[in-house]
Structure 1
Amino acid sequence: MRALARRHLGKLVTGVALAVAGAAVAVGVSLPDDAGAAGDAAKAAAAERDAVAPEGTVEAAPEEGEKGVGRDPLTDAEIDRAERLAVAGGNLRRNALDVEGDRGPEHLSTNLTETDPRLSGTAAAQRRADVVYYDYKSDAVVTKTVNLDTGKVEDTSTDHGVQPPPGKDELTEAAQLLIGDRLGAGLRADYKDATGKKLTGPDQLELSGMVFRKGTVANVPADLAACGTHRCLRVITKVKSGPWIDTRALVVDLSDRTVGRLS
């Protein structure tokens, strides 16, 4: 792992050197010639012509409305309303747990609901949103379909063994667990090699990641056997404005808050 980090650093340094060289070439090209005052005057006139604004008026983008039309993406106002309505009634807010173990479900996404071919007329034209949560208490994906025209939750589905892409807070929590775990020693060492500083939290890294699916691996260690039922992530880490650090062999089980390594 540490060798990989140093190899990336070498590429980074090389890239900086090339950028400096390119800048030097650009400066050389832009140097004035020896045509004298007449040449300078001609260049100034040309620059003035180029600086003239094109005809027409550029208008600012219109403000986003409170409500979209048809299949327009959800507006910010619609997203906020859908998420409030989704947890306003029922026991989801009281009974579910988020990724940190606090009361309330972990929000994953809010998207425009797919068109239902069984609906027609006014019902078909109404705007709906699917608000997706993960409940860490029951290891279940909960989807609330909210009718934004009526303000009602029209449908609630609960699925086990379904693993949507991770949310930002989940990636942050997974990285925090990885940094603090004994299996994160290589990550901490690589970060120190790259920056000269101690890695203490996820805010020092650029994060991305994916759900770990057991079917993609030939030999799954016993401590990762529950993944699929549990919420398990592979976290991709990068030093901010720096190299990638290879953590692909490490899997974080967010449901039981442990870290495992793939062979």
Structure 2
Amino acid sequence: MAGSAVAVAATAVLVGVTLPGSDGSGDRQTNAAAAKQDAIAKDGVVQAAPKEGEKGIGSDPLTDAEIERAEKASVSGQMRSSARDVEGDRGPQLLSTNLSEPEPSDSGAAAPRRAEVVYYDYKQDAVITKTVNVETGKVESANTTRNVQPPPSQEELAEGARLLIADPLGKGLKQDFKHATGKTLTGPGQLQLSGMVFRKETIKSVPSDLTECGKHRCLQVVTKVKNGPWIDTRALVVDLSSRSVGRLG
């Protein structure tokens, strides 16, 4: 969002328009959902989807078994004990697991299938990317980068919403939820969540408590009452690294 064009409200307000519906999470492939459906309609008859194999072929999406193998292989003992996830627990925060592009040296159908597994380590505020050969289970490359912010995972959005609810700046969010449902908002499970990484270069004036965003992991969490209206919290930014909330404007 361009900074000067963003109208910043004093509190969260109910909005009657449809906001972006993307969940903002990484492109982790679960059940190869991008390539198949649970059922296939043919000639008016619903047929069960074909059973998924242990291994994919060529550019097929990763199977559940391949995803599990890649994620297990990508977290070494040292990484598991030293890194921290979004809640501060041991181990890095998983962001996404996807099929890697073939290497230039790979040849046709015989090319090995690789997974790119992306994590965020909140202890060192770094993105860790590992490429795993899903056939051998071997980590073929690892890369650590800072000041890079991939799209958030659903777990990060949930933790961001939890911090919003607990913070004094989340008072408007709780008031609007109460108004819409008649119930008290106590946790992220009561909301439908989407969101995006906050990029401070998109606004003219960055509040002092948000100047570390970019180096820190900062999100704008978009909230919606389940089966109800959107609640506009776009003026609020959650710094997941410092576990604090700031306001734009």
Shorter chain as normaliser: what TM range? 0.7 to 0.9
Offset at residue 217 of structure 1 (A): 1.0
The one-letter code matched in structure 2 to 1:179 is I
The one-letter code matched in structure 1 to 2:136 is T
User: Do 2:12 and 2:232's aligned partners in 1 also have CA atoms closer than 8 Å?
Assistant: no
Deviates more, 1:90-99 or 1:139-148: 90-99
Q: How does 1:1-263 map to 2 (within 5 A)?
A: 4-5=13-14, 8=16, 59-87=47-75, 89-120=76-107, 125-263=111-249
User: Do 2:12 and 2:172's aligned partners in 1 also have CA atoms closer than 8 Å?
Assistant: no
- What do the CA deviations read for 1:70-96 (whole angstroms, capped 9, x no partner)? 000001111011101111x35110100
Deviates more, 1:92-101 or 1:55-64: 55-64
More helix by share: 1
The one-letter code matched in structure 1 to 2:202 is T
Offset at residue 197 of structure 1 (A): 1.1
Structure 1 segments of 4+ aligned residues over 2 angstroms from their partners: 1-4, 54-61, 118-122
- What do the CA deviations read for 1:50-107 (whole angstroms, capped 9, x no partner)? xxxx9898653210000000000001111011101111x3511010000000110000
Offset at residue 150 of structure 1 (A): 1.6
The one-letter code matched in structure 2 to 1:212 is F
Change (3 A) 1:121 1:205: closer
Measured in 1, the distance between the counterparts of 2:236 and 2:44 equals 56
Residue 21 of structure 1: aligned partner:
none
User: Do 2:163 and 2:243's aligned partners in 1 also have CA atoms closer than 8 Å?
Assistant: yes
Structure ranking higher on relative contact order (CA contacts 8 Å, 6+ apart): 2
Whichever of the two has the greater Rg, that structure is: 1
The one-letter code matched in structure 2 to 1:110 is T
SS, match of residue 91 in structure 1: helix
Change (3 A) 1:186 1:67: same
The one-letter code matched in structure 2 to 1:240 is K
Measured in 2, the distance between the counterparts of 1:194 and 1:164 equals 33
Measured in 2, the distance between the counterparts of 1:256 and 1:226 equals 9
TM-score (ref. length: structure 1): 0.78
Measured in 2, the distance between the counterparts of 1:204 and 1:63 equals 34
Percent identity between the two aligned chains: 65
Aligned residues: 217
TM-score (ref. length: structure 2): 0.82
The one-letter code matched in structure 1 to 2:52 is E
Change (3 A) 1:57 1:232: closer
The one-letter code matched in structure 1 to 2:79 is L
Unaligned runs of 5+ in 1: 12-53
Change (3 A) 1:125 1:260: same
Measured in 1, the distance between the counterparts of 2:146 and 2:223 equals 28
- What do the CA deviations read for 1:222-254 (whole angstroms, capped 9, x no partner)? 100000000000000001111000100000000
User: Do 2:13 and 2:173's aligned partners in 1 also have CA atoms closer than 8 Å?
Assistant: no
Aligned CA RMSD, in angstroms, stands at 2.2
